[in-house]
Structure formats: structure tokens, C-alpha cells
Amino acid sequence: MNALRIKKGASRKSAYDLKSTYGDEIETHTLAVLVDNEAGVLARVIGLFSGRGYNIESLTVAETDHAGHLSRITVVTTGTPQVIEQIKAQLGRLVPVHDVHDLTVEGPSVERELALIKVAGVGEKRVEAMRTSEVFRANVVDSTLESFVFEITGSPEKIDAFVEMMRPLGLVEVARTGVAAIMRGNAT
Amino acid sequence: MTRQMSGAQIVVKALKDQGVDTVFGYPGGAVLPIYDEIFQQNDIRHVLVRHEQAATHAAEGYARSTGKPGVVLVTSGPGATNAVTGMTDALMDSIPMIVLTGQVPTFMIGNDAFQEADTVGITRPCTKHNWLVRDTNELAKTMHQAFHVATSGRPGPVLIDIPKDVQFANGTYVAPAKADKGHYNPRVKGDMDRITELAALMETAKKPVIYSGGGVINSGKAASMLLRELAEATKFPVTSTLMGLGAYPASGDNWIGMLGMHGTYEANMTMHDCDLMICIGARFDDRITGRVDAFSPNSKKVHIDIDPSSINKVIHVDVPIIGDIGHVLEDLLKIWKSRGRKTEAGAISKWWGKINEWRAKDCLAYKQEGKIIKPQYALQRLEALTKDHDRYITTEVGQHQMWAAQFLGFNDPNRWMTSGGLGTMGYGFPASIGVQMAHPESLVINIAGEASWLMNMQEMGTAMQYRLPVKQFILNNERLGMVRQWQELLHGERYSSSWSESLPDFVKLAEAFGAKGIQVSDPDDLDDAILEMINYDGPVLFDCLVEKHENCFPMIPSGKAHNEMLLGNASTEGAIESGGAVMV
């Protein structure tokens, strides 16, 4: 038997190219995952994403029902529709997971993020920063003669816009919480 | 009734209440209290293995051959890390297993104590679920929950990490029936509308195929019986994955052999050309599908599986049915019968004509000639001389495993134990020990290659200590055969580290442990040697010297479709293109 000639520089990318009737375009979805608030549960969720090569754009977690020992993880992820379906199914089979809701699919939802933004400057730049913050309805939660810390709440896009506005005005540091999201109306 | 007892007593009591009769393990500092309890009772047998990895594979063998969960008990640190391979193996092959690990006392956790490892952290991705128990009062509940999680839904391994102070402290015992099992409760009944849809598809299919997998066996004996009823009633051809062998009998009329990379030509062509594929408890693994964009291009695909994440993971299916195989098949047969038991009988008989044409290729043909034993011939003789025995087969991983799947016939479920998903060399010998523990009177044979077998050869000690007459049938080609085959096909015949240098004399090795060794190299002596092996009452190391350069065919080269299969006598030049070369 002769050896096979492998072309020099042959592609190293996976040959398992998954073609399905799903679309190939990348979508962004916000998932609300209700989990038992037990040790290691966040590691399980994050480990699932990293182990299977899924993306996390944003992730927030906190206990939401103390008596019921339940936490809510809000995760914003991207992928093809097929990958999004897999992510939901994989999350759903984790033992401490009670429920997985795809807020992007299930109906209109509200998404909010909180950010703390530090801007340093004096003179006209400082005044401009203050003026812009009023337009964005950001609050000043700390100030010195040379700096402000703004608190701003809104959609991630609004926060992105505010950060961009602050950049030439002396932006020093940004802390963001990640997205918290909930369905509109009386549905749960 | 609740009772106060020590954590160690709770562990042993919970095992008894869960019906456990055998535990595979290895003691160490952090599990001594539990070993002390095991010493003081007679209901649970403890099998002392020689390496913790072997304990997990033995538990897998026990579980697969009985349908009950396997139980492993090991110490902290290295005890736990050595068990990782077996847990990963059990996760990939959906084997129910409960692993109990000792841990350093709670007040020392995080201090890099002696034999401390972050066991729940390390095993999180290789278990279905795991727990660190910090309070003895939680121990009984956690034990019962662990059995529930391991055995319900898609089975898998679970781990409970028990710090030593929790084993010593007193707590309250609760019985299984009283214990809170948590909210985990996968549904077993399939959606009736979807099942009806499948029944309708069965009525009109002209070229159907049933593609069954390990899920049928995991679902229980009843599921295998229902699969047989379905096949017999519809005359649909049946193929199976490696994991599913035995669910439909190899002697059955509808059997077309295993499918996939080393499956039969007829099975793979049937899959490629079918118009209705009914996947029952299998997961479209890459060994099965070959190139996914050329996978069975013209068929309606139905997928029955208990795990929703298996649906549409690799192949998009038209009718997904989530549920337990036994439940779904029962409903399916009921609905199909109530609709008048219709099939396209004429078309199906034509379809069988086509399948029989493919079968006529005789894709497993090989030539036994001269004085060297072909591995296929050794397995065919083993089959002929053992098929009427009450027989269980385990395997290691490699060429011998594929030949065993091709040349041995399995007529019942739970008779075939092999590492499918993870492909763990060293699985077969300890697995055979676990099987023999569960079935002391049966003939248990591990089909091995010499390289795989050496990976857990220390278990000779275990086999001798517990008088387990396991037969180690080694097809010795002094090569890492499958690696060698791939190097021949893909890497310019440069055999990098794929030969077995400095092999032991297996006969002397057997004798050193007090077992029997048999070596055979002449085809004319083979039958007598096999009979001698079967008739010997004790462990046997059977060193069968075989053709060194035999390749395993047929083969779907990586990156190719089902209808691009290589047969034994075909030229393999250009068989694997650069795209396929990156695949394993």
C-alpha cells in the first residue's frame, strides 16, 4: 500500500463541518437559567460553556429566592441557531438546573445592565462629562475636584454609547455588572 | 424511622438499602472509617483491585452485565484522580456508576493537605453530577440522591466526596423511600403525536432501516424485546452501533451487522440509501456518521433518545422523540398496530434484495492461509467454540475490538462490554473482573491486544485473589495495531512508536501470578488451545500470536461518506484526503 500524500499546508480546520438545515448566521440570545443555589453550580455552568466551546458575552448570577435556595443566572451567548439549541439542551440536563428560558425567543423582555464609570479631568472636559451624564441620566456617586464616578443603568448598548462619549473626556475605569433580564408582562 | 449512626455506617447502610452487593475499591487514609465498617459486615463484598482505574472499569463491567449501577470506593487525592479515566469512560458510554471518594477533613480542605485534591472540581466535567458532603446529616440523602441521578434518565457516573470527619461524626440516617430525591426527574414517556408521526412514516417507507444503539440496552431487557418485536413485525433491517450489539440478535433475520467506520458494507450502504432512518438510543457519533454533510442524504430521520441534548447535536432529524426507549417502543407498537399494522411490504422486499446484493460483497472476507494465524480466524474459531456457552465478552480498544465486534455474534443484551465513546485502552481486563464477580458461573472472555492488556495487567492479582476464572484472549501482533494501520494509511508508513518492544513472556507472566498461560502460533493448534482455555478452572492468559500487519477492514476513511467505504482488497491509495487527515 502506498502512503498517502498529504498536501503541504493542508487545512488544519475541523473536517467535521456541521451542515444542517439550520441557518449559519450567528445570533445573540439571552438565557435565564434557574438553578439550585448550591456549591459549584456556577462552575458547572461556566465549565459547560468552556468545555464545549460556547461563547459567554455576559453572565450575571445571584440568589433570587432565599427560602427556595434558588439562584438565577442570566447569560448572554452567541452562536448559530443549532449551537443555541445545543446550549439550552446541555444546560437543561445539568442536575441542579430547574429551568432554562430563552428570553430572546420566548417573547419581549427587558434587559438592563448597571455600570460604574470613572472619569478624571478638569476644566471644560469635566463640565462636558457632567453635561453628558445628565443626558444619559447617569448619577454621580462619587466626586473629587478631578474626578467623577458615574452610575448608569440601561441596555448594554446605552452603556456602550455612554462609555464611548466619556472616552475623550478622561475615561479611567469601567465596571459593569453584565446583563440582568426578565420577561415583560405577567409571564414567568 | 430515623437512626443516629456514624457517617461511615450511613454509607454502608445506604449501599445495603440500595441493593448493592459488590463494591470495587482500594483503601487509603481518607476512607479508613468506611473500610472499617465494610470489615464488620458480610452483605457487601469488597473487591480489592490493584489500581483505582481498574476499580472503575470493573464497576462498569458489573453495571453493563447486570443493568445495576456499579459502585467504587477509593481514597482522596491519587485515589480519586486515578478514577477519573473510568468515570469519563462511563460518562461517554452512559454507564450508571457511583464513586465514593474519601476527602481530607473539612477543616483541612483548601490547605494542600496530604493526599488532598479538589475532587469535585476535577470530576465535575466527567460525572453526571457530584457532591461534596460537609454535614453527616446530609450524607444519607445525598447517597440516595446519587443512586437516583446515576440510574434515571440517561445513566452515568456520579461521585460523592466524603471528608474523613464527616465519616466519623454521627448523623441521622434516612431510608431511600423517605429521602428527598430533589427535582431531577427526566421524562420517560414520549410525545404521542410524534410517535404517531413515526408510525405513519413506517407505513409508507420503501427503504427503511432501524439504527439502534446502547440506549436500547440501557433501557432494560424489555426494550430489547420490543425492538425485536418491531423488527420482526415490520421486516425492517436492523443495524446497530458498537454499544448496541446484542439488543437485536446477530442470529436474527433482520440483522445486517454493525454500522460505522468498521461496520459492514451492507449496513453502511443501507444507511446511506435508506428513505426512513429510525435511530433508537444512539447518538450519531462521528464513528457512525462519517462525513456528516453526506450522511444518508435522502432519508427522513427519526431519533428516539432520553437525552434532549442528543437531538440535533450532530445530525438534524425530522422527528425527534424524547423518552425512554422501552416506553416509546411500547407506545409505537401499540399505535402502529391500532392503525392496521401497515408497511410497504412489496417495496421492503425489493429493498432487501438490494441489501442482499451488498451483502454478497462479503465485506468481512479474509484469507487464512499458511502457518500464521490471522486475527479474524482466531476470533472465528473462538466464536465457534464458545457461542453455545453462557458467555460474556469484554474487549480492550483497537483492531481486536473491531474484529471482535465483526466476528463474534451477540444474541442477548448485556453480554458485550466495550469502551466505545472514550476508547479506553486497559478497559477490558478489569471489566472482565467486574463481569465475573456478577456472574461467577459464566464464561467471561476479554478480547485483547497485547498493548492494551499491559495497561492494566496488575489486575492479574485481583483475578487470582478472588478466584475469578476470566479468560484473557490476547491477539498478539507485537504492534499497536490500530495506530500502525493509521500510520500506514496516513503517515507514509512511518511507524512512530507503534510497536511493542520488550514484551513479557505471557505464559511465564501468568505462571508468576499462579494463573495458567497458553501460547499458540500454529493455526492447526488453535482449536485445542481454545478448548484448553475454556476448560481450565481459573484465570488464563491466552497468548495468540497473530499476523503482525493485518489491517481492519472494511473501513470508512475519516472525512468520507458511508458509500465511500474501503474493502479489504481495495487499494487504499488516496483514500484519505487532507481534510480527513485532521480527524481522528
| φ/ψ of residue A56, rounded to 5 | -120, 115
pLDDT band, very low/low/confident/very high, at B2 (cuts 50, 70, 90): low
Q: Check pLDDT > 80 for residue A125.
A: yes
Q: Any bridge partners for residue B223, and if so which?
A: none
CB nearest to B492's CB, from A3, A17, A82: A3
Indicate if ipTM > 0.85.
yes
Mean pLDDT over B491-504 rounds to 94
pLDDT band, very low/low/confident/very high, at A2 (cuts 50, 70, 90): very low
Give the pLDDT of residue A3.
Answer: 38
Domains of chain B, residue spans: 3-178, 192-359, 375-545
- A 39-58 → B contacts, CB under 8 A: 39-40, 43-44, 47, 51
Least confident of A17-26, B220-229, B264-273: A17-26
One domain, residues A94 and A135: no
Within 8 A of A6 by CB-CB distance, chain B residues are: 490, 578, 581
Q: Check pLDDT > 90 for residue B554.
A: yes
The CATH homologous superfamily to which domain B192-359 belongs is TPP-binding domain (3.40.50.1220)
A–B: how many Cβ contacts below 8 A?
A: 97
- Tens digits of residue pLDDT in A112-123: 999 999 999 999
- Tens digits of residue pLDDT in B18-41: 999 999 999 999 999 999 999 999
Examine residue A98 and state whether it is found in any structural domain, yes or no: yes
| Residue A23 contacts B, CB cutoff 8 Å | no
One domain, residues A100 and A151: no
One domain, residues A102 and A115: no
For residues B379 and B393, the answer to whether their CB atoms sit within 8 Å is no
Of A75, A106, A137, the domain-final residue:
A106
Mutate to test the interface with A, among B184, B315, B549 (most CBs of A within 10 A): B184
One domain, residues A100 and A118: no
Cross-sheet strand order for the sheet of A70-79: A58-65, A70-79, A27-36, A97-102
3-state SS of B159-195 is EEEEEHHHHHCEEEECCHHHCCCCCCCCCCCCCHHHH
Q: Check pLDDT > 70 for residue A187.
A: yes
Report CA-CA distances (Å) from B527 to B4, B65, B475.
Answer: 60, 27, 15
- Tens digits of residue pLDDT in B128-161: 999 999 999 999 999 999 999 999 999 999 999 9
One domain, residues A56 and A88: yes
- What is the average pLDDT value for chain B, to the nearest integer? 96
One domain, residues A160 and A120: yes
CB nearest to A86's CB, from B309, B580, B582: B309
One domain, residues A78 and A141: no
Q: Give me the domain span that covers residue A166.
A: 109-183
Q: How many domains does chain A have?
A: 2
- What is the average pLDDT value for chain A, to the nearest integer? 89
Give the pLDDT of residue B568.
Answer: 76
Q: Any bridge partners for residue B305, and if so which?
A: B322
Examine residue A141 and state whether it is found in any structural domain, yes or no: yes
Name the minimum distance, in Å, from the CA of B130 to any CA of chain A: 9
Place of cell 404521542: B192
Report CA-CA distances (Å) from B332 to A61, A163, B185.
Answer: 43, 59, 23
CB contact under 8 A, B579 and A16: no
pLDDT band, very low/low/confident/very high, at B334 (cuts 50, 70, 90): very high
pLDDT band, very low/low/confident/very high, at B582 (cuts 50, 70, 90): confident
Strand A58-65 with A109-120, pairing: unpaired
Cα separation, A72 vs A36, in Å, equals 9
- The enclosing domain of A40 has a CATH number of 3.30.70.260
Give the pLDDT of residue A18.
Answer: 38
Give the pLDDT of residue A72.
Answer: 97
CB contact under 8 A, B293 and A17: yes
For residues A154 and A113, the answer to whether their CB atoms sit within 8 Å is yes
pLDDT band, very low/low/confident/very high, at A20 (cuts 50, 70, 90): very low
Mutate to test the interface with B, among A4, A37, A52 (most CBs of B within 10 A): A4
Give the pLDDT of residue B560.
Answer: 87
Give the pLDDT of residue B574.
Answer: 54
CB nearest to A90's CB, from B291, B309, B490: B309
CB nearest to B582's CB, from A14, A19, A21: A14
CB nearest to A18's CB, from B292, B491, B578: B292
- Tens digits of residue pLDDT in B191-242: 999 999 999 999 999 999 999 999 999 999 999 999 999 999 999 999 999 9
All 3 cell numbers of residue B440?
461467577
Tell me the residue ranges of DSSP E strands in B63-110.
70-74, 97-103
Q: Which fold has domain B375-545?
A: Rossmann fold (3.40.50)
- The enclosing domain of A146 has a CATH number of 3.30.70.1150
CB contact under 8 A, A4 and B575: yes
One domain, residues A61 and A91: yes
Single out the residue of B168, B347, B375, B186 nearest to residue B274, CA to CA.
B347
One domain, residues A79 and A48: yes
Of A39, A74, A106, the domain-final residue:
A106
| φ/ψ of residue B137, rounded to 5 | -65, -20
Cα separation, B343 vs A13, in Å, equals 44
Burial class (CB in 10 A: 0-12, 13-18, 19+), B368: middle
| Higher per-residue pLDDT: B26 or B291 | B26
One domain, residues A31 and A45: yes
Element (H, E) at A132: helix A124-135
pLDDT band, very low/low/confident/very high, at A5 (cuts 50, 70, 90): very low
The yes-or-no answer to whether B3-178 and B375-545 have a common fold is: yes
Mean pLDDT over B521-531 rounds to 98
Give the pLDDT of residue A31.
Answer: 97
Which of these is catalytic: B41, B114, B334, B577?
Answer: B114
Cα separation, B322 vs B95, in Å, equals 19
| φ/ψ of residue B171, rounded to 5 | -155, 180
pLDDT band, very low/low/confident/very high, at B580 (cuts 50, 70, 90): low
Name the minimum distance, in Å, from the CA of B153 to any CA of chain A: 9
Give the pLDDT of residue B575.
Answer: 59
Of A91, A106, A121, the domain-final residue:
A106
CB contact under 8 A, B582 and A12: yes
Within 8 A of B576 by CB-CB distance, chain A residues are: 4
Q: Check pLDDT > 70 for residue B572.
A: no
Examine residue A2 and state whether it is found in any structural domain, yes or no: no
Cα separation, B523 vs B531, in Å, equals 14
Single out the residue of B418, B424, B412, B479 nearest to residue B446, CA to CA.
B418
| B3-178 placed in CATH 3.40.50.970 | yes
